[in-house]
């Protein structure tokens, strides 16, 4: 293999001033810096069996998705963020199982879970909570060509499905991450799929603009443990499979955070002082355009939500 040639900058002879040299170098290096600034391609789609016929789908653009494999067809939970990633996911599912996806369940309305549905090429049954449909509707009204991403069927409260010989119970415990969060309990496999109701290593996101609620989030986590005590594994959109102990630890963390915010409010501290004192728990170098957990708790305690 030939060694790559070194980059040689041929400066003009006897440049009149330093500014001319700088301009010349910038013109040479601009294409290189443009290439270096190109965003990295998303990682490839992978399927990992979690238990029985349930698979974790990683990679592509967007959140974790989940596959429930059947004997005749498959059920998919969530749909990635881009049409390309969605189509790649369907292709990989077909390779692994030899069967197509016949139905999709959406855990909530965030774009990294639903926008991939723009890649649908035919009709598909899409099931979600009624509030999720309502939260997705404004985007579709602004962009009519996205009509295909809307749920074709909705439920409220609880819905039970029979799929591949197992009972799936869809449950909404009220506003939490959003107003339309769906938990999918699969008792036969002792697991639940919970969307964005669990974050680890960072503070949970609560979307106030979608009528999410800190106290609702806390209540929903408590219900995850109490509603089906036999559930042992919790599968989420942005974390590895979690245990009951990890969910209990998250509940303790949120209770402690609420206690700290309330104490500082009682001391007469302002929101900015409280945010400075407690700070967000986020991965290194990451930022968020959404209100922090501390800000959400503050607003709910003060009755400003």
Q: What pLDDT digit, counting tens, does each position of 66-101 carry?
A: 999 999 999 999 999 999 999 999 999 999 999 999
**Domain assignment present for 192:** yes
Neighbouring C-alpha atoms within 13 Å toward the C-beta of 31: 3
Q: What is the mean pLDDT of residues 233-248?
A: 98
Decide if 146 is inside a domain: yes
In a domain, 264, yes or no: no
Torsion sign (Cα): 264, 265, 266, 268:
positive
Q: Are 178 and 108 in contact (CB under 8 A)?
A: yes
Sheet containing strand 233-236, strands side by side: 158-163, 166-171, 183-186, 191-195, 233-236, 242-243
Residue 78 resides in a domain: yes
- Evaluate whether residue 214 is within a structural domain: yes
Count the domains in the chain.
1
Instruction: Say if residues 203 and 163 touch (Cβ distance below 8 Å).
Output: no
How high is the mean pLDDT of the chain?
88
pTM, to two decimals:
0.85
- Mean pLDDT over 265-274 rounds to 96
Per-residue pLDDT averaged across 137-144, rounded?
90
153, part of any domain = yes
184 within 8 A of 169, measured Cβ to Cβ: yes
Q: Which single residue is written with the structure tokens 């959109």?
A: 237
Asked whether residue 59 is domain-assigned, the answer is yes
Higher-pLDDT residue of 253 and 20 is 253
Burial (CB < 10 A; 0-12, 13-18, 19+), residue 302, is exposed
R_g of the chain, CA atoms, integer Å: 24
Asked if 206 and 217 touch (Cβ cutoff 8 Å), the reply is yes
Residue 173 inside a domain? The answer is yes
**CATH number for the domain that contains residue 170:** 3.60.15.10
Q: What is the pLDDT of residue 25?
A: 41
The range of the structural domain enclosing residue 198 comes to: 46-243
């Amino acid at each position: 293999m030939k060694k790559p040639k070194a980059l040689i900058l041929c400066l003009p002879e006897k440049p009149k001033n330093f500014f001319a040299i700088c301009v010349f170098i910038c013109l040479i290096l601009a294409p290189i810096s443009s290439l270096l600034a190109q965003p990295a391609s998303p990682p490839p789609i992978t399927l990992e069996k979690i238990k029985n016929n349930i698979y974790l789908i990683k990679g592509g653009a967007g959140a974790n998705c989940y596959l429930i494999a059947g004997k005749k067809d498959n059920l998919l939970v969530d749909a990635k963020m881009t049409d390309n990633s969605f189509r790649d996911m369907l292709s990989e599912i077909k390779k692994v199982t030899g069967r197509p996806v016949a139905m999709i369940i959406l855990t909530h309305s965030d774009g990294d879970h639903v926008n991939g549905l723009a890649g649908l090429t035919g009709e598909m049954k899409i099931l979600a909570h009624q509030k999720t449909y309502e939260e997705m509707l404004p985007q579709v009204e602004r962009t009519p060509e996205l009509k295909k991403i809307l749920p074709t069927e909705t439920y409220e409260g609880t819905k039970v499905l029979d799929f591949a010989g197992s009972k799936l119970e869809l449950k909404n415990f009220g506003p939490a991450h959003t107003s339309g969060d769906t938990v999918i309990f699969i008792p036969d496999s002792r697991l639940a799929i919970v969307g964005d109701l669990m974050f680890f290593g960072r503070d949970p996101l609560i979307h106030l603009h979608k009528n999410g609620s800190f106290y609702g989030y806390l209540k929903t986590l408590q219900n995850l443990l109490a509603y089906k005590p036999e559930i042992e594994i919790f599968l989420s959109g942005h974390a590895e499979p979690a245990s009951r102990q990890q969910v209990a630890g998250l509940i303790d963390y949120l209770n402690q955070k609420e206690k700290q915010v309330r104490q500082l409010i009682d001391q007469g501290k302002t929101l900015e002082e409280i945010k400075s004192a407690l700070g967000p728990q986020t991965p290194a170098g990451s930022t968020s355009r959404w209100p922090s957990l501390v800000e959400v708790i503050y607003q709910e305690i003060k009755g400003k939500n």
